Structure formats: structure tokens, C-alpha cells
Amino acid sequence: MNTLGELLVQTVQKNGNYPALGFVDEKPLLYHEVSKKVNQVIHLLDILGIGKGDKVAILSSNQPNWGVAFFAVTKMGAVVVPILPDFHEEEIENVLNHSGAKALFVSESLYRKVENINKPELKHLILIEQFALLPSGISKDELPKLETSLGEKDELAGNYLVDKDDLASIIYTSGTTGKSKGVMLSHNNLVFTARMASKIHHIDHTDRLLSVLPLSHTYENTIAFILPFMQGASIYYMKKLPTPSVLLPALKKIRPTLMLTVPLIIEKVYKGSVLPNINSKAITRGLYKLAPTRRLLNRVAGKKLMNTFGGELKFFGIGGAKLDPTVEQFLIEAKFPYAVGYGLTETSPLLAGFDSFKGKHQSTGPVMEGVTLKINDPDPQTGQGEIWAKGENVMKGYYKEPELTKEVITEDGWFKTGDLGAFDSDGYLFIKGRLKNMIVGASGENIYPEEIEAIINRFQYVLESVVVQQKGKLVAMVHFNMEELQKRFEHLKEQANAFIEKHLDELKQELQVYVNSKVNKFSKLQKVVSKAEPFEKTATKKIKRFLYY
């Protein structure tokens, strides 16, 4: 099993009559039904003149047909180009034109983004909900009336020869650096990663996964789609964005055993639900400051949290960014089945990770089997240095960017991650921060903004922060929880807003004193700036830092 087509065939043979892909409130497609639909889509692409190596883009919200389109494109040897739904029109146009995509699967909700863009090489648009060909100039209102373009034929006449080293996917990521790059991943990159990741946590046909992150991101694509699909689990999607009013009923109905998320989501749950509940009474607020009673309170909160997530969670994967240390301490004491993984789009994505209840505080776990990691040029005192990776999951390179590829992949195959880290004596990896984010102080000291931000984010009423250097000074840009502040001072009525503004200045000063009491002398803040709006983020909810430098 080295190609995605082989993966599909094998999992259907083993799990044909089990549920595979579905919406929360609808009957899911069984594995054999997915296979039949995949072959019907291949016939349609054949008729449209799509062949091996041709690029086919997917711009769609999460849904069962996303997976069908993905397997159809890759099984026939064409190359899938997933596009993040959050991309704006200019980014989508750039991706379509740079990749040279000949066809595009688009969902109804995102059709408006491609209706008027310039796409000279794009020959065919296919509505993903019905797999209906879109005539030129059709309006959004007419889309639901279209009938499917799929025929009844579901047996493949031809033999689609696909090699494990053939290109399977080009994933464009805006990342946090500003410039999108097309990461070329082979069939083997993706299948190998799914196989090795399956050794971290056992999955089978009894497992249910609720998908909440975009499938066009390699984290969700490999770990929450290819991996559970390979193991015969059932995967469910929501028709609307996962707001609490949509997510909570879905959790109750599906009772997932598996979920994948990013730190921001669980951090919001902790700060928005757990902490306010504890701080609402003076007695629990006081008891929470004592370690033994804090652990007891966290255990009680953990049981409630498990029930909120359906009560049957066995694996709650967190990745995409570093987890706040206070939130992780809560998850440990709450005995919540969280797990942490580390990787990059360029490594398909997983490099290291641990299973539920096998972690260490602030570690990303041991290296994944089949992968080699090393710390390049480690600091003699700390053992920290840039993490380099080697393995079958390392990308083929950046599409049409050979020079850029040479910058990150050495001649002997090491991929330079750009992350700083170190191993402990048990082989657990600890991430220090991004090499490009590191600030060099006036006397040459290394300052890690992520560490300062972790302290800032523990401060009351802080939601998120970014630490930057401006004119040689360390400045913290902070987004305060205005909703909580307004609740606290709502008894002042008319004077509330003016009071909050005044209180914000006091909060900023208090925050600066608090942070500076906990960091070394060259990491002290010189200024705190309040930011009214949340920071702009990537698909995995990492702050686009480059926008704030």
C-alpha cells in the first residue's frame, strides 16, 4: 500500500459495509459506496480530458464529496490542489494560475470567490455537491437546480498506473510568513505518514471522528481524513461553521472517539468556560490557587468537559501551534485524553507525537517511527538548535521553486524545519520557537517571543498577544477580552465604556509589571499596546505574525 489508490482499494475490501463519510444529520456513505462514487467521478474527469499529472483544484467546505473528489483525482494519477476556504479571491487566482489547474471542484458557498476571477488555464468548473458541470456565467442562485453530471458507470475500464513517488498533491499555504508556497507531496509521502501515525494511536471501524478543521490543510487532510479512512473509521462533517450552537448538538449526536483541533480552540474552552466557572465564587477562586485543591477542581471540570464532547473521546489531537502551558496543565490534571503532535506541511505533516496519557508537559512527544530528527549545531549549554528532519514523509520540493527548495533541503536529504528545539533524556522533543521569530537583543542575547507570549496569555482578560521588536524595544501587542471586561463593569451602565478605557490603561501597566517580574532582564517589555480586533490567523489558527512586525 504505497499509493492513495491502493489505500482506497484495500480499505474498501476490508471495511466495505461500514460507514465512511457523512454529514452529522444524514445517513453516511458506506466504504463501498465511496469507492463506487470515486470511480464515477474518474469517468467524468476522463470525459473532460483530465489525465495523469494534470492539476485539479478543490475549493470547498468540508463535506463527504471532498473526500470523494480527492480520491478520484489521486487514484487516476492526476494531482489534487486543495485550496483553503479562507483564501481571498486574489490568493485563489494565484493558486489556480500558478498550479496550472485544468479543473476545479467548488462548493456552492465558495462559488462567489471564483465567479469573476481571471483563470485562463482552467477549463472546467464542477459543483462538488452534485458533481455537476458548471456552464459559463451561471449565477450562484442557479447552482442548487443543477443535476449531476455523473453517469451510472462505476467500473474502471482502463488501468491507471500510479507510482508511489508520483506527485499526489500540491498544498499552497499562506503560513505565517506572507508568501504562499506550493508544497509538493507524493503518494508515498501521504500514505507513509498515515501508516506511521497509525502506530501512535490504534484506530478501527468502531471509531467515529468529527472533523472541524479545513480538509485543505495537510494536518486535517492526512491525520483526520487519510489516516482514519485507511483504518475504516467513520468521519462526520457539519454543514455550518463549528460555532458552539452547531458544534454542541453535533458532539451529542456523534459522540466522537476521535477529534483533531488546534490550541486556540481548547484554550478558548478553558478561558471562556472552565476559568470563569471557577472564578465566579470567592471560595473556588481561593482554592484554585492551592495545588492539591486545584487538581481536584480540574478533575471535576475535566469530567464535565468529557461529557460536553460526547463522553466517548479516546484521542483529542492538538497540533498546528504550541499549546499554552497553563491549559496543558489543566488537561493533564483533568485527565482529559489530549495528545500533541508536531510537524509541517512540508513533512506531510507529522514528525513527532504522543498518544493520550503518554505525554510530557510542553513536549511534542517522541519522534514518529520511520522518521529521523536531529538538532543541527546545538547550543553547548542548552542543547537547543534548529530541528532537521529526514524520512519518507519529506516533500518533493516547492512547485516551480527549485532555488527555494535548495534552501530548505540539503543535498543529503535533510529538511530544515526552521523550528528551534531540544530533546530530553527520554527522547521527547521540546519546541523553543520559530528561528525566524527569534529576536536578537542589544547585546546579542536570543529572545524567544513565544515564551513571553505564553506568560502574557496567562494574564487575566488577555485572549492573545504578539511580541515584536520596534526601534530596539520589546513591544507586546495584546488583544484583551472586552466581553469579559464589559460584563465585569456592566453595573456602571453609561459610564462603563469610559471606565473600561481607563481600566485598560491600568491593565496594560499591570500586565507589563507582571510579565517583567517573570522574564530575564533582556526579555522585559518596554511597552504594551492594546489591539481592539483579534489577530489575523492561518487555517490552523496561528497568528500571521508577519503582518504585525
Q: Which CATH number covers residue 521? A: 3.30.300.30
Q: Identity (one letter) of the amino acid at 460?
A: Q
Say if residue 408's pLDDT is above 70.
yes
Residue showing cell 508577519: 546
Q: Does residue 232 form part of some domain?
A: no
Same structural domain, 141 and 51: yes
pLDDT for 119: 86
Same structural domain, 533 and 428: no
pLDDT for 175: 46
Same structural domain, 535 and 487: yes
Give the mean pLDDT of the chain.
Answer: 93
pLDDT for 179: 61
pLDDT for 542: 86
Give the highest mean pLDDT range of 29-33, 377-381, 453-457, 544-548. 29-33
Angle value at C-alpha 313, between 432 and 7, nearest 5 degrees: 80
Portion of the chain with pLDDT greater than 70, in percent: 96
- Cβ atoms within 10 Å, residue 8: 25
Q: Does residue 527 form part of some domain?
A: yes
Q: Does residue 196 form part of some domain?
A: no
Q: Does residue 454 form part of some domain?
A: yes
Beta bridge partners of 435: none
Structural domain range at position 270? 262-435
CATH value at residue 345: 3.40.50.12780
Same structural domain, 405 and 449: no
Same structural domain, 64 and 177: yes
Provide the 3-class DSSP secondary structure of residue 373. strand
Residue 509 grid cell? 501597566
Q: Does residue 226 form part of some domain?
A: no
Boundary (domain end) residue, out of 190, 217, 247: 190
**Rounded Cα–Cα distance for residues 36 and 16 (Å):** 11
User: Is-cis flag, bond preceding 19, omega within 30?
Assistant: no
What mean pLDDT comes out for the span 123-152? 95
Same structural domain, 524 and 407: no
Boundary (domain end) residue, out of 435, 456, 482: 435
Q: Does residue 208 form part of some domain?
A: no
**Rounded Cα–Cα distance for residues 230 and 15 (Å):** 9
Same structural domain, 66 and 154: yes
Q: Does residue 231 form part of some domain?
A: no
Confidence of residue 127 (pLDDT cuts 50, 70, 90): very high
Say if residue 31's pLDDT is above 60.
yes
Do 407 and 397 form a contact (C-beta atoms < 8 A)?
Answer: no
pLDDT for 176: 46
- Give how many domains the chain has, as a whole number: 3
What mean pLDDT comes out for the span 333-345? 97
Q: Does residue 220 form part of some domain?
A: no
Residue 363 grid cell? 513536549
Boundary (domain end) residue, out of 174, 190, 206: 190
Taking only the tens place, the pLDDT of each residue in 43-74 is 999 999 999 999 999 999 999 999 999 999 99
Same structural domain, 9 and 155: yes
Same structural domain, 44 and 98: yes
Same structural domain, 340 and 430: yes
What mean pLDDT comes out for the span 450-458? 92
Same structural domain, 463 and 373: no
What mean pLDDT comes out for the span 285-304? 96
Taking only the tens place, the pLDDT of each residue in 481-502 is 887 777 766 666 556 567 677 7
Confidence of residue 521 (pLDDT cuts 50, 70, 90): confident
Say if residue 177's pLDDT is above 60.
no
CATH value at residue 185: 3.40.50.980
Q: What is the torsional sign of CA 249, 255, 260, 264?
A: positive
Residue showing cell 455537491: 129
**Rounded Cα–Cα distance for residues 274 and 306 (Å):** 12
Same structural domain, 292 and 428: yes
